[in-house]
Structures are given as structure tokens and as C-alpha cells.
Structure 1
Amino acid sequence: MTRPTLVLVAHGTRSTRGVDMVAALADRVSAQVGTTRVAFVDVLGPSPAEVLRDLPGSAVVVPAFLASGYHVHTDVPREVADSAHPQVHVTPALGPDPVLARVLLERLREAGWRDGDAVVLAAAGSSDRRALADVRRAAAMLAELTGDRVEIGYVATAEPRVPDVVRRIRETGGRRVFVASYLLAHGLFHRRLEESGADGVAEPLGVHPDLVGLLVERYRSGSSSAMPSSGVAGSMTARA
């Protein structure tokens, strides 16, 4: 039986560097699982529905999002339904996950963070309470690794904003402050972090071997769960 095609769904960005990173990530995953297609829910195409309409056989859709908000709960299932593809399994989003916490810590150390330095987890932001809860879980996972409290700041939509959190930490503690970029790729949001006033800003998660492994695990789990049907099969709930 032919393996399902992996459809990697990302947000989309006008940053060429960000688009290239998503493509590189898909290439790395493809080397392990076979045919992998990329789709975007915003900014640029192709959309998930457009990709799925062109696919023969079954598909596993992996939402490459670090928290499950509107895009995961609404956009992705709508796109799958609009495609009318008969054999699609949608996996949980990538985050939060302990694997991502370990990558975040590695990125922080690369940026010069040391034990005792303050950490601000910088997320894109969302008006969806479920996504904000996921970010809090991600911060807790990172805090377990740093051994210290991890504050949360948002780039857009939600409060508090990253520069405000950095400023507050400086005023109350006097420690060096580092920003952990809870973003998948480079783009406008990451560029804004460079202006946050922090002592250092970690790189986005990017094409890290552990992130590739997490995507492969999501795909393989979805493949084993997928069954031919006349509709959408799958879970839209992030891993507990």
C-alpha cells in the first residue's frame, strides 16, 4: 500500500528566508517519510485545500504550529473539508512539546544565555484562549529545563508585549535577559524581537534535527491512525 503523502501546513510569511526554512524542513522530513508537500494558511499559497485536491491516495496533514489557535482549530479543518479529499488524517499541532523545549534551550545557549540569566518566551500571540494556554505550557516546559521561572511575552495580538516584559525584568532584578524565540522561522515577528531591549535573542526553532524528528513522529502516528473514509479523520487536540 502506498504511504500517505505528508502535507506540512505552515502559517506563511513574506520573508524569503522564512519560506526557504519551511522548504528545507520539508526536504529533511521527506528524506525520512517520502513525498512531502507544503501548504500555507495565510500570506501566500498554495493553500491546504489546493494541495490536497491534487493528491492521489491518502494524506496526513501536520499543522506546523507551536500552539493550537484559530488556524489549527478553524482554518485547517475548513481547508480539508473544502478540498473534498476522501482520505485525510489531521495530526495534532507541533507544540507545545518537550522536544521543542529542548530545542529552545539549545537556541538560548547558542545566543549566550547562562544559568541565572532571565528568560522571556516570545510567542506570536493569539486571541484564542486555547493557544495562550499552549504557550503557558511551553513556558512551563522550558522552565523545567532552565531551573528558573520563564516569563511570557507576545509579539502581536496578546499582552504583555515582549519589550514590556524585558523592561520589567530589568527594573526588578537587574539580571541579563534573553529572549527565547518561540517561532518556527525567520520573518517580521522575529525581526521585532531584535528591538526588544534584551541582552540576547535566540534564533527561531528552525531546521533542527529534533524538530524534524518531531514532524516525522507526528506523520507516522497519523499514518498508523489514518483509515480510508468519506470525510476527515483525525484529532485537532494538541498532545497533553
Structure 2
Amino acid sequence: MTARPTLICCSHGTDSPEGRATITALVTRAAELLENVPFRETYVDVQHPQVDEVTASVDGPAVIVPLLLSPGFHTAVDIGRAAASRSDVVATRTLGPHPLLIELLADRVHAAGLTPGDHVVLAASGSSRPEAAARVRDVRDACALAIDAPITVGYAYGATPKVADAVAAAREAGAARVIAASYVLAPGHFAGLVSRAGADITTPPLGADERIARIIAERYAEGVAELASLSA
């Protein structure tokens, strides 16, 4: 394998201009961290080009990095199918769980003004796939070591409890305030659902933070190592 594999960054896709700009900024920064590796941006829903099309069109080996926080339908089906379509393409793990995401979530919650008596709801997008919920629970457990407050999970869509229900349960349990820690990558539909779930404070989506670009670069390196082992 002589040519540097193309970095294919595959996100969900969104109608939000701010969300689209966030994803593009992350992809561009990750490519810079990788010393300007060739890269493509693609999606599984809403936007085009979609992942099958991009994977088929790339010249030479490629690494698909899901710009998704947890595994689920899109990683197993859309991204999995695209990676399986070529012997010189691999797909990596999702961005989460990762220690840098825990650090970022904790920073956001503390910046929101966490005080004694507050309750934190880790507000994820949601998926019907059990592996997604398992990874979100892993993130919650790690956040519990970094945030000095009770932490429960709520989902914007596709799983229960919904964020609004988790917020209500926290209040019923005696929380002075409820902080929804947005475990959503970029502005868009799911971030909007989280923001309207009734928490006293909602942290912004994770956004184009340098730490997320570093995770993307790390996942790419993992994929390159896997390609090398396959061709050895």
C-alpha cells in the first residue's frame, strides 16, 4: 500500500446550515492534523453524496470514519455495506466512547455552572439498536467519574427514556436544577429535540472542537493499520 488511503468522513446529514458547517470544519481540521491526507465528506441520510456513492468513486484504498457518536443502524447497514463493497476499504469504530469526549462533556457541564443539587441528563440522539444504548451507558459511567452530580440518560429519538422524561424524573427525585448535557455532534434536528426537552440548562452540541478532530485522526490511523494488516 503506497498511496495514503483517502479519509472518508461519514456523518448522518442535516438540513441545518450550522450543522453542515460544523461537520465540514471537523473534517477539514482532521485532514490537517493528518498532514493534509486526501479526504471526502459523505452522509447516510438527508445530504448527498451518500456513502455508497463516495466509496465506489474513490481511487485507491480508503478508511471510512463514522462521524457518529455511537454504533447503530447506519454503522451496521449503510457504512458496513459500503466498506464491504471493496477489499481496499475499511470502516472504523464510531467516535464514542472516547476519553476526549468525556473530557469535553465534563468541560461543558462545568462551564454551564454546575452547583450542588444539580442533576445531569446525558442527552443522546438515540437508536433502536441495543449496542447504541450500551455505548451511551458507557459514556454515562465515565462521565460519573468526571462530574460531581447524579447522571442519568435520555434520548432525543428512537429509544427510551426520552430526554424530557429523564428531565422530569430528575425533578421528581428532588433535583434543584437539571442540566441536559448534549451528547449530539452538531446543530440540527436531534440537537433541537434536546434543547426543547425542558431542562433548566442545555449545553450546546459538541461541535467543531479540536478534541473531536483528534479522535477522527486517531480513528483514521486505526483504519490505516487495519488496511496494512490486510495487505500484509
- Shorter chain as denominator, the TM-score bin is over 0.9
What SS class does the counterpart of residue 67 from structure 1 fall into? Answer: coil
Give the distance between the partners of 1:42 and 1:3, measured in 2 at CA.
28
Aligned partner of 1:202 in structure 2 is: 203
Q: CA deviation at 1:184?
A: 0.6
- With structure 2 as the length reference, what TM-score do the two structures score? 0.92
The one-letter code of the counterpart of 2:29 is R
Q: CA deviation at 1:163?
A: 1.1
How much identity, in percent, do the aligned residues show? 38
Q: CA deviation at 1:219?
A: 0.7
Give the distance between the partners of 2:115 and 2:74, measured in 1 at CA.
35
What SS class does the counterpart of residue 197 from structure 1 fall into? Answer: coil
1:58-97 deviations in Å (ceiling 9; x for gaps): 101111111111111122111233xx43411211111112
Aligned partner of 2:89 in structure 1 is: 88
Give the distance between the partners of 2:28 and 2:132, measured in 1 at CA.
28
Aligned partner of 2:119 in structure 1 is: 118
Whether contact under 8 Å (2:118, 2:150) holds in the other structure is no
Aligned partner of 2:40 in structure 1 is: 37
From the superposition, tell whether residues 134 and 196 of structure 1 become closer, same or farther in structure 2 (CA, over 3 Å).
Answer: same
Whether contact under 8 Å (1:186, 1:204) holds in the other structure is yes
The one-letter code of the counterpart of 2:22 is M
Q: Which moved more, 1:204-213 or 1:102-111?
A: 102-111
Whether contact under 8 Å (1:120, 1:150) holds in the other structure is yes
1:74 equivalent in alignment to 2:54? no
1:58 equivalent in alignment to 2:27? no
1:207-228 deviations in Å (ceiling 9; x for gaps): 1111111111111121122139
Give the distance between the partners of 1:112 and 1:151, measured in 2 at CA.
18
Q: How many residues align?
A: 228
Aligned partner of 1:236 in structure 2 is: none
Whether contact under 8 Å (2:62, 2:89) holds in the other structure is yes
Q: CA deviation at 1:45?
A: 1.2
Aligned partner of 2:158 in structure 1 is: 157
Aligned partner of 1:131 in structure 2 is: 132
What SS class does the counterpart of residue 173 from structure 2 fall into? Answer: helix
The one-letter code of the counterpart of 1:55 is V
Once the two structures are superposed, the pairs formed by residues 139-218 of structure 1 within 5 Å of their partners are 139-218=140-219
From the superposition, tell whether residues 58 and 115 of structure 1 become closer, same or farther in structure 2 (CA, over 3 Å).
Answer: farther
Q: CA deviation at 1:229?
A: 6.4
Whether contact under 8 Å (2:33, 2:214) holds in the other structure is no
What SS class does the counterpart of residue 181 from structure 1 fall into? Answer: strand
What SS class does the counterpart of residue 94 from structure 1 fall into? Answer: coil
Whether contact under 8 Å (1:113, 1:200) holds in the other structure is no
The one-letter code of the counterpart of 1:2 is A
Whether contact under 8 Å (2:67, 2:95) holds in the other structure is yes
Superposed CA RMSD in Å reads 1.7
The one-letter code of the counterpart of 1:132 is A
- With structure 1 as the length reference, what TM-score do the two structures score? 0.89
Whether contact under 8 Å (1:100, 1:211) holds in the other structure is yes
From the superposition, tell whether residues 193 and 58 of structure 1 become closer, same or farther in structure 2 (CA, over 3 Å).
Answer: same
The one-letter code of the counterpart of 1:199 is D
The one-letter code of the counterpart of 1:107 is R
From the superposition, tell whether residues 165 and 227 of structure 1 become closer, same or farther in structure 2 (CA, over 3 Å).
Answer: same
